Amino acid sequence: MRSIRNGVFETNSSSTHSICICSEDEFNKWIGGEGYFNESNGSFLTKEQVDTVMNYDSEDTEDDKAQARRDECIYTYDEYTDWDFNGNTEFYSARHTTHNGDKVIAFGTYGENR
């Protein structure tokens, strides 16, 4: 056996852990259905921004559009927090007010690999 990293415990686990931090305003808009979360780069997008970047076909149904967004890792709040949909991961969120009075949310998933 060869040690690559001294003092580091590793498992051959397929678990995943993620954390994202955003403003309370961004988070509340996402929860309210006013936009999407781009998991690939950790950004929030408005519906208009998503419609601009996605190459929907004119005959695409709403289900087709939703699948195209998911293929690009762009999720509604309900999709991102759905245990069965997102690969059996659990969702968490925590609110915090910084010393400067900024209201932020930390959120993410943990569990089996997506």
In a domain, 77, yes or no: yes
In a domain, 34, yes or no: yes
Write out the residue range of the structural domain in which residue 61 sits.
15-112
- Its sign, for the CA torsion 57, 85, 25, 20, is negative
pTM over 0.75, yes/no = no
Q: Is the pLDDT of residue 73 over 60?
A: yes
Indicate the helix (H) or strand (E) that contains 92. strand 89-97
State the average pLDDT over residues 2-25.
69
State the average pLDDT over residues 51-70.
92
In a domain, 5, yes or no: no
Per-residue pLDDT at 35: 93
Residue 36 CB-density burial (10 A; 0-12 exposed, 13-18 middle, 19+ buried): buried
CB 96 within 8 A of CB 107: no
- Its sign, for the CA torsion 80, 47, 106, 71, is positive
In a domain, 9, yes or no: no
Q: Is the pLDDT of residue 13 over 60?
A: no
Per the structure, the count of domains in the chain is 1
